[in-house]
Amino acid sequence: MTEDRSTIRLDKWLWHARFFKSRSLAAGVVSAGKVRVDSQPVSKPSRAVGPGNVLTFIQARETKVVRIIACGERRGPAPEAQALYEDLTPTPKDRPVEARGANPKYEKGGRPTKKDRRDMEMD
């Protein structure tokens, strides 16, 4: 007996799940080879995916790992989109302040005053 497994185009699913603002952006990322389906690189936006597939891709400088739960019928609101997948992305480790590029000595924020600039020159 064959199992009827519902599938959807990869670019369309990424758009439905609200990972990308437009379907063409999703298709561009897939075409560039920056998406993996079950750890296999994919370069065709028309690749069929369905429940159980694990996707790995980069979005906004973060690596996302998601397992597809449902295909979805439309691009609905965010809570509906979040029900389409299970997020398997590892949590980022806390980085020290220096690694983020901020100088801990001058964390006041904003533009330094003339006195702050003089003090910086003396250091």
The per-residue pLDDT for 75 is 93
For every one of its 123 residues, what pLDDT tens digit does the chain have, with 9 covering 90 and above? Answer: 444 458 999 999 999 999 999 999 999 999 999 999 999 999 999 999 999 999 999 988 889 999 999 998 999 999 999 999 999 988 776 544 444 455 555 566 788 888 888 888 876
The per-residue pLDDT for 111 is 85
pTM across the whole model:
0.71
Q: Where do the H-state alpha helices sit in the chain?
A: 10-16, 23-31, 78-82, 114-122
For the chain, give every domain's residue range. 1-91
Q: Which fold has domain 1-91?
A: 3.10.290
The per-residue pLDDT for 97 is 47
Residue 41: which residues within 8 A CB-CB, separation 6 or more? 33, 35
